[in-house]
Each structure stands twice: as C-alpha cells, then as structure tokens.
Amino acid sequence: MDRVVKQARSAINEYIRVKLNNIPYQTLNTEDFSKFIAESNKLSLKIEYGGSMPALRGLILLNNDKSNSLVLLSDENNNCWKRFTLVKEICHIFLEHEHKIENDNALKMAEALMFHVAFLPNFLPTGDTSNLSKEAEKDYETFEALLGKINPLGAEETSAVVAAIEILIPAICKDWISKWIEQGCHLNDISSKLKVPNLILEHRLKDWGLKVPPLK
C-alpha cells in the first residue's frame, strides 16, 4: 500500500476512533476533522475565506514555531471544492517525507488530475484582499514574495491530493458507490451524497476500476 495512503488512513482512523466512536462516515465533517488534525499536532487553526481568488485555490501557512496554522480558501469555490481544498491543505500537516517520493502510481494519477484544475495550495489570493482578516492579509503579504520560488506540482502537493481523496472518499464507500451506480445514480447524484467535487469522484472511480456514470 502506498505510504501516503497509509498516512491518510492512519489519520482518518484515529479521527473515527476518537471523535466518531468507531462509526464509519459517509460524508465527512471537514472542519471538525481539520481541527482534530491541528489539535493532534498541537496547532491552533484558523480558516479564512479570501476575497477574489481566481479558480479553485487554497493555502496553508504555519508560523515560525509551528504553533499556529492558517488556511486561506477562495470564497469562489463551491461547497464541495471548499471541503476538498480544506482537507487537502490540512493533509500537509501530517504527511511526512512526501517530498522524497518519486515514481509512485497514485502520485502520477494525482498529478495528471491536477493539470485539469487549479486548486493548488501554493497560490495566494490575487486582486481583492479586502475580505481577509488583518492576520491573513499580513501572512499574504509576507508569503507573496515566495510564489516565484515554489513548484506547485511537486510531490508534496500531489501527496496531499492523494491523501485528501483517501479521506473524503474512503475505501469503505466503494461498496455503497457500486450499489448506487447499479441503481442508476448519476455522477452528480453520488458526489452530492458525499459532498465531493464531480472531478474528484470521477478520478476515484477510475482508480477503483468502477464504471463512471454520466452526469444528469
């Protein structure tokens, strides 16, 4: 099993054990999960919805002593993309050594997926930042100068994508989804049940070798 998947499953299994009394979930409470991960890593967490961010983008920032974390999310994302992007950013907290991973099939699939949509965490809001708090705006200004030095398609990012998919559409959902497909559910019917983006669900179904149903 891929090491990134192992880390993701370890994180979500601990959340299920501690917060859900070992009861499997169909639709994850992403904010509660994110707070749990932050607290487990002795971090405070703030989530800010930015102003006019183009496309589907998010960013996680840690202060120098790694005691505070700030996630910036575009307020132009729909609810499903907000959920996915938040979890993807939080995955950066618990993933370890992912920058050393090369030639991993899951990472290659995630990288291919990423070329189709701009939800990269290494991009910051552009244009209107009036909706950001003073703290978030300060972090924005401090971090903006680093944009040109960051490779957004590195292993760290693709690892976070793989982990987020594993958490939001866990293996336990495969049987449920198979039955829904057999019952004639459309792709967006299933993504609405799970509250995940259609594109991410389609990627997961292909990864599992399941038939991808059409959209309504």
Residue 136's pLDDT is what? 54
Per-residue pLDDT of the chain (216 residues; tens, 9 = 90+): 488 899 999 999 999 999 999 998 889 999 999 999 999 999 999 998 875 555 446 778 887 777 888 888 877 788 998 999 999 999 999 987 554 444 444 444 454 454 444 444 443 333 344 455 565 555 544 444 333 334 444 667 788 888 999 999 999 899 999 999 999 999 999 999 999 999 899 989 998 999 999 998
Q: How far apart are CA 209 and CA 202, in angstroms?
A: 10
Residue 133's pLDDT is what? 59
> What's the one-letter identity of residue 91?
C
Residue 27's pLDDT is what? 94
Residue 73's pLDDT is what? 85
Q: Nearest CA to 87 among 112, 126, 53, 60?
A: 60
Q: How far apart are CA 58 and CA 73, in angstroms?
A: 4
Residue 96's pLDDT is what? 73
Domain ranges of the chain: 3-168, 170-216
